Chains A and B, each alone.
Chain A
Amino acid sequence: MSGMPPSLAPAAKPGAKPATRRVAESRDQADRARLDAAMRGFISDFGPEAAVYMEACLHCGQCAEACQFYVETGDPKYTPIWKIEPFKQAYSREMGPFAPFFRAFGLTPKVTLGELEGWQELLYDSCNMCGRCSLVCPAGIDIADLVEKARHGMFEAGLVPGDYLGALAGKEQETGNPFGISREDVRRALLEIGRSHGVEMHVDEPRAAVVPTVSSIDLKMYPASIAATARVLNHVGASWSFRTDGFDADNVSLTAGDRTGQRLVTEAIVDAATRCGAEVLIMPECGHSYTEMRWEAANTVGHALPFRVLHMSEYLAECLDAGRLKLRPVTPDPEGRGVTFHDPCQLSRRSGRSDAPRKVMAALGLDLHELADHGADSWCCGGGGGVALINRARPLRDKAFAIKRRQVADTGAGTVIVSCTGCRQTFEHGFKDAGGETGVGSLLDLVAGQLEEDGKTP
Chain B
Amino acid sequence: MTLLDFARGPALYWSTLIMVCGLVWRLAGVALLPFRPDRSAAGPQSRGRVRGALGTIVSRSLPRRTFLARTFATVVVGYAMHLGLLIILLGGAPHILLVAQATGLSWPSLPKGVVALASAVTLVTLVFVLVRRCTHPVLRLLSNFDDFLSIVLTLVPVATGILLAEETVLPYRTLLTWHILSVEAMMIWLPFGKLSHVVFVFAGRAVSGAKLGKRGATT
Task: Please list the residues of chain A having a beta carbon within 8 angstroms of any beta carbon in chain B.
Answer: 1-5, 8, 45-49, 51-62, 64-66, 70-71, 74, 76-77, 79, 81-82, 96-98, 101, 107, 134-142, 294-299, 302-305, 308-309, 349-353, 355, 373, 375-377
Contacts and interface: CB of A to CB of B under 8 A. Distances in A.
Contacts, number: 187
B140 to A, nearest CB: 7
B209 to A, nearest CB: 6
B45 to A, nearest CB: 6
Interface string B133-167: 00011111111111100000000000000000000
B200 A139 contact: yes
B16 interface: no
B203 interface: yes
Contacts of A352: 43, 45, 212, 215-218
Contact of A56 (B35, B67, B204): B204
Give the 6 A-B CB pairs with smallest separation, nearest first: A97-B29, A352-B217, A56-B204, A140-B205, A376-B218, A1-B145
A142 to B, nearest CB: 5
A47 B64 CA distance: 28
Interface of B: 25-26, 28-41, 43, 45, 56, 60-61, 64, 66-67, 70-71, 74, 78, 136-147, 192, 194, 196-197, 200-201, 203-209, 211-212, 215-219
Nearest to B47: A352
**Interface of B (DSSP majority class):** helix
Contacts of B28: 97
A107 B147 CA distance: 12
B169 to A, nearest CB: 38
B34 A47 contact: yes
Contact of A308 (B31, B41, B60): B41
A299 B36 contact: yes
B141 A8 contact: yes
Contact of A138 (B30, B38, B78, B209): B78
Given A64-B138, A97-B28, A295-B40, A140 B206 contact: yes
Contacts of B26: 55, 97-98
A3 B78 CA distance: 22
A55 B60 contact: no
B208 A5 contact: no
A135 B218 contact: yes
A297 B40 CA distance: 7
Contacts of A74: 137
Contacts of A297: 40
Given A48-B35, A52-B207, A76-B137, A97 B145 contact: no
Nearest to A64: B138
B208 A142 contact: yes
Given A136-B64, A377-B64, A62 B146 contact: no
Contact of B218 (A294, A298, A349): A349
B33 A139 contact: no
22 contacts: A5-B140, A48-B32, A51-B33, A55-B203, A56-B197, A56-B203, A59-B147, A61-B74, A66-B70, A71-B70, A134-B208, A139-B201, A140-B208, A141-B204, A142-B207, A295-B40, A295-B215, A296-B40, A298-B40, A351-B216, A352-B217, A376-B217
